[in-house]
């Protein structure tokens, strides 16, 4: 199915991905926006040697929970939004308030999963999940080809409780011009494992977890499990059994299988407690330029909720010392998610 690339009035790109061919998404953005000029900078913490992104313009980004002022709903007569088309299946556009870009390099994109403001990733039909997977793969390949990009990071934040500023079903993609600290640490661990034992670190982890007590759900090609040293009370890693570096490297059938299992895990999170469970989902793809050492992706899904009426806050130990304390035994969390 052909994907349609267009431009917003300030010059940003928007691409439509449809479940079926033949859709017309050539609506023109009628807003009078100033030319897009992202402003961000990277500063290095001299104590930890870790980069920090500074993007002050994000202070004025849009916050919305309803349809009246939602910038991700389709454009309607009398109200123009970030999506010029009157309807869409999946739309991807450059973030108007990015954390990257400009002199820093890299890029931030928004991925809208549905035109339905009340939609939910976990409840979308298989054909829409496949379209989202195709959009993620397309953008991963395109962003990985940018000369300054080192890491393509696909993620979703759902729920005001974890800081999501828009209620419309959507996620984001950050194309970092450097390796973020977690990815850099995983790369170093993969290198040490390969030097000491040979082979892929993630393959070894997946093989071990697939045979253990923390499996939550699985399919022929993928395993979803609570990691042995989970940081969050309810945290699941979802990984392919074989080495696949990023979402663009899967076949269409493999990606459909992956997206089906991903939605299964999200539904299990929703059944843990009463009402929709706030969660974060992150796709840790292989770094663009270090595939010889690390070429195995995994998704990380977790909630900040640790009980029906309690949340896990990052207090001093986690926030200042970086020492996580988990309140739920990972084996117990896996059993509850299997039963959910």
Catalytic site positions: 170
173: Cβ contacts below 8 Å, ≥ 6 apart:
92, 107, 108, 109, 111, 136, 139, 140, 143, 152, 153, 154, 155
32 vs 35, 61, 113, CA distance in Å? 9, 17, 26
């Amino acid at each position: 199915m052909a994907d349609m690339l267009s431009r917003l009035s300030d010059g940003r790109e928007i691409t439509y991905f449809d479940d079926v061919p033949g859709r017309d998404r050539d609506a023109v953005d009628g807003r009078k926006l100033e030319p897009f000029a992202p402003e961000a900078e990277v500063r290095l913490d001299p104590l930890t040697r870790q980069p920090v992104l500074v993007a002050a313009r994000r202070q004025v980004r849009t916050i919305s929970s309803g349809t009246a002022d939602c910038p991700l709903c389709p454009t309607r007569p009398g109200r123009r939004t970030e999506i010029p088309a009157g309807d869409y299946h999946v739309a991807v556009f450059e973030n108007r308030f990015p954390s990257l870009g400009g002199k820093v390099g890299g890029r931030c994109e928004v991925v809208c999963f549905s035109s339905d403001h009340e939609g939910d990733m976990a409840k979308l039909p298989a054909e829409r999940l496949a379209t989202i997977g195709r959009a993620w793969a397309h953008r991963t390949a395109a962003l990985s080809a940018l000369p300054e990009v080192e890491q393509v990071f696909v993620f979703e934040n759902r729920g005001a409780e974890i800081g999501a500023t828009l209620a419309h079903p959507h996620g984001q993609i950050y194309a970092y011009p450097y390796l973020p600290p977690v990815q850099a640490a995983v790369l170093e661990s993969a290198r040490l494992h390969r030097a000491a034992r040979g082979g892929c670190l993630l393959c070894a982890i997946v093989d071990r977890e697939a045979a253990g007590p923390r499996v939550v759900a699985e399919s022929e090609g993928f395993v979803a499990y609570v990691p042995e040293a989970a940081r969050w009370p309810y945290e699941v890693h979802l990984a392919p059994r074989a080495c696949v570096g990023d979402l663009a490297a899967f076949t269409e059938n493999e990606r459909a299988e992956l997206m089906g299992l991903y939605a299964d895990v999200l539904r299990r999170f929703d059944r843990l407690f009463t009402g929709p469970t706030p969660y974060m989902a992150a796709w840790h793809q292989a770094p663009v330029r270090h595939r010889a050492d690390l070429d195995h992706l995994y998704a990380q899904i977790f909630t900040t909720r640790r009980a029906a009426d309690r949340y896990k806050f990052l207090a001093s130990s986690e926030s200042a010392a970086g020492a996580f304390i988990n309140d739920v035994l990972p084996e117990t969390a896996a059993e509850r998610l299997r039963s959910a």
